[in-house]
Structure 1
Amino acid sequence: MLKETYVCTSCETAYPSTPDIWKCPCGGLLKIEWEKPAFSKKEIQSELPGMWRYERALPFHSRCSVWEEVTMGEGYTPLVPLSQDDPHTFVKVDYMMPTLSFKDRGAAVLIAKAKEWGVKKVIADSSGNAGTSIAAYAKRAQIECDIFLGTSTSPKKVAQISAHGANIRMVDGTREDVAKAAQLAVQQEGTFYASHVFNPYFYEGTKTYAYEMWEQLSRVPDTLIIPAGNGTLLLGVYQGFCELLAEGLIEALPKIVAVQAENCAPLAEAFYEQRLEKVSVQNKGTIAEGIAIAAPERAAQILHATKQTNGYILTVNEQEIKGAHTALAAKGFYVEPTTAANYAGFLKHRRMAHERIVLPLCGAGLKAI
């Protein structure tokens, strides 16, 4: 029987892994500790769809393949050269997912876990993509779903969430106000909080990005350039590579370079002030809505992961984002502004000769533009 435990990242108190807990009473965030079986390339089940080829590395009961009732084939996305002129830079086309964003990785695992627990309703808050993913997978799992969104959310993302049958609850305020409203509803209704920020099962899904890179490249890239707001992809990738390192399957962690929009860059501010704690800034407005997080809850973990890999954080302005969007489209990749911000960061990165770099293309342009 699989034994899973929640552990507070602040006070280190341990709790049983249940659908009723999403944060420690001390205010700390949770991580999952479980007895992972040994994993190697022999354990990759290539006959399974998408990211579920790494089923042994995911926290599900071995005799209960509940994910089979939820999956839509998410994961194992193409890893292709950015251009023929640059054989050392690759993009992972993670917008080739059922709901057109990388968030499907985390949503598929989180909703499958909710179904395994017998959850009947979930609540989530989002700037768009995570809400879309949660809504889609909840509908497929026949779980009722409420999604809290800010009034500034892209109309196309709102329409997509609505199409998946979720009950949309609009909040007039900041991204932080939206999260507070969702958390209050969770408390009042006693409902499962399917948060891509707070619920650590979401990161069990996004870590598969690292497993796929390792398998597709047959090695670890030198550098990963990743857009960072709440850090759901960055932290998942870091976790995945740490697991591969612990298994002796890789020899070193790749450098992580996080990219933020200049108009909303609390992580960059903290990094250059050499702080390892949550920082709050004013969101001055950015088209890269997916990383417009003024006070990231997992800031300390994001900063720690970046420093542990000898990485750094850089910022890009609105004109650089727009220019990067045009440049990526000219290469055949039509992405949303948040991914364009990441490419703008790549263009500012001072690369070494023959440095092997991977960039995620996180969301499709059709979702936001």
Structure 2
Amino acid sequence: MTSSLATAQRSLADPAVRHPLWPPLTAGCPVTSTDEVAYPLDVDYDYARVPAGLFTDPLPPGAAHGLDRWAPLLPPLASPGLGEGGTPLVRLADGVYVKDESRNPTWSHKDRLNRVAVGAAKAAGAQGIAVSSSGNHGASAAAYAARAGLPCVVFASPYAPPAVASFVRAYGAAVLTVPFEATRSLMRRMVTELGYQPVSNLTDSAHTGHPFGPEGYKTLAYELFLDLGRVPAAVYLPTGYGELLFGVTKGFRELVTLGLADSVPRVYACEPAARGPLAAAVRTGRPAAHVEFAPTDAYAIGCTVGSYRGVVALRDSGGAALTVTDEQMAAARDELAAQGLWYELSSAAGLAALRAHGSAADADGPVVCVATSSGFKDLATARRDVAHELMAGDWDSVLTALKAAGHA
């Protein structure tokens, strides 16, 4: 297998501004960022050297499952994986496809990002991993840090689901619940004083995140291309900071660069209507926007600050920023559960946006909704009273209960 063909980091604000591949610039581009907007970095590759059979040759017997297949088009994978990726594509009754990212090792799409970002920390000689997370990202970072033999510190939200702390601590990570406004300053001290590498955001003016992380999300686009035998007509993605949105769009753009596809599908950002910083940025023509905090149960994507990555992804794909209410996401979550797929509320944002704003019947090809995380991560799952009241063990009582539930 060809090793990584990554060559450099470059600014998304000005592609002519390039930096060496190492070390990862985790605070955004130092040249193009301003006091108003921190600009993320992208990763360049030597596309002329991509093996001809990377997307067509069958995997050899015993080949490692996970992101290793795509090593030439990823930054160096310096630590072992957990079998991330290769998630199923499930066709719903009306022909819409659902990419089920809950089948990843820690039950969310974040495993694709952390396989790459934690590996980068290992390769750069970091003393550990630091992450700020409401749930999915922290659990995933903790798992991949453990796999890499690195300590991990998770700055957790006090509003995270109760089960998340147990999930994270199971991997040996330290969980620190601090006020949200203190998180980034504490993360920066972890970096400067303790030598930890962040796999989440350090910047205040706009989200930049780890420059290598979104590269892991590209593999989702590769898998859709192989599973469908073509690029989809449209992809609907739950969107918080826009890293997934950017990575998937970049993956499709690379397929065009490599001559494997003719076009990039329309990629839609699906945000909670209560906030929606990307929708605000697009509406006002800004590279990134801050929005007021408003309550939403879609905590995994309920962001108040956006990233220029999202604007770039929508521009490159011809997509749009769509917003959906908690009620629309709940209806989509219930629709998916009725077909055997159980996701947290945020994960249903893609299907909710398709039902509210789009039409699979009018699309010129397959339509895909990405579902990002298991229903076990939902806010209500661990807080709802799940105790079972003991009922009489006679048939009449069973029939009464079945009728009440609509089953008899």
TM-score (norm 1): 0.89
Task: Measure the CA separation in 2 of the matches of 1:17 and 1:363.
Answer: 31
Deviations 1:2-60 (CA, angstroms, capped at 9, x unpaired) = 66322233355433233463233343322222324224424564633133222222222
Task: Measure the CA separation in 1 of the matches of 2:12 and 2:24.
Answer: 18
Task: Measure the CA separation in 1 of the matches of 2:241 and 2:340.
Answer: 28
Is the partner of 1:224 in helix, strand or coil? strand
- Which of the numbers 327, 338, 341 marks the counterpart of 1:330? 338
Task: Measure the CA separation in 2 of the matches of 1:353 and 1:323.
Answer: 20
Task: Measure the CA separation in 2 of the matches of 1:3 and 1:251.
Answer: 24
1:262-301 matches, within 5 Å, as 262-273=273-284, 275-296=285-306, 298=307, 300-301=308-309
Report how far residue 75 of structure 1 moved.
Answer: 0.4
The equivalent residue for 2:71 is 55
- Which of the numbers 187, 206, 224 marks the counterpart of 2:235? 224
Contact 1:43 1:54 in 2 (8 A): no
Equivalenced residues, count: 355
- Which of the numbers 255, 258, 261 marks the counterpart of 1:247? 258
Deviations 1:77-133 (CA, angstroms, capped at 9, x unpaired) = 1112022xx23x100111101100011011012222322333331211122111111
The equivalent residue for 1:5 is 8
Between 354-363 and 44-53, the greater mean CA deviation after superposition: 44-53
Report how far residue 290 of structure 1 moved.
Answer: 1.2
Contact 1:322 1:340 in 2 (8 A): yes
Report how far residue 322 of structure 1 moved.
Answer: 1.9
1:1-369 matches, within 5 Å, as 4-10=7-13, 12-19=16-23, 21-23=25-27, 24-26=29-31, 27=33, 28-36=39-47, 37-40=49-52, 41-42=55-56, 45=59, 47-60=63-76, 66-67=78-79, 70-83=80-93, 86-87=94-95, 89-173=96-180, 177-195=182-200, 197-273=208-284, 275-296=285-306, 298=307, 300-351=308-359, 353=361, 355=363, 356-368=366-378, 369=381
Task: Measure the CA separation in 2 of the matches of 1:207 and 1:75.
Answer: 11
Contact 1:324 1:340 in 2 (8 A): yes
Between 8-17 and 262-271, the greater mean CA deviation after superposition: 8-17
Report how far residue 194 of structure 1 moved.
Answer: 2.0
Deviations 1:171-198 (CA, angstroms, capped at 9, x unpaired) = 2135xx5334323432333321222752
Contact 2:274 2:295 in 1 (8 A): yes
Is the partner of 2:92 in helix, strand or coil? strand
Amino acid at match of 1:194: V
Contact 1:171 1:181 in 2 (8 A): no
Structure with bigger gyration radius: 2
Is the partner of 1:225 in helix, strand or coil? strand
Give percent identity, aligned residues only.
Answer: 30
Between 156-165 and 3-12, the greater mean CA deviation after superposition: 3-12
Going from structure 1 to structure 2, the CA distance change for 1:20 and 1:228 (only over 3 Å counts) comes to closer
Amino acid at match of 2:351: Y
Task: Measure the CA separation in 1 of the matches of 2:209 and 2:46.
Answer: 21
Going from structure 1 to structure 2, the CA distance change for 1:241 and 1:365 (only over 3 Å counts) comes to same
Is the partner of 2:361 in helix, strand or coil? coil
Unaligned runs of 5+ in 1: none
Is the partner of 2:132 in helix, strand or coil? strand
Is the partner of 2:267 in helix, strand or coil? strand
Amino acid at match of 2:226: E
Report how far residue 354 of structure 1 moved.
Answer: 5.2
Task: Measure the CA separation in 2 of the matches of 1:359 and 1:169.
Answer: 34
Task: Measure the CA separation in 2 of the matches of 1:13 and 1:251.
Answer: 28
Task: Measure the CA separation in 1 of the matches of 2:339 and 2:6.
Answer: 47
Deviations 1:196-254 (CA, angstroms, capped at 9, x unpaired) = 75212111111100000011111010000001111121111011111111011000000
Contact 1:343 1:359 in 2 (8 A): yes
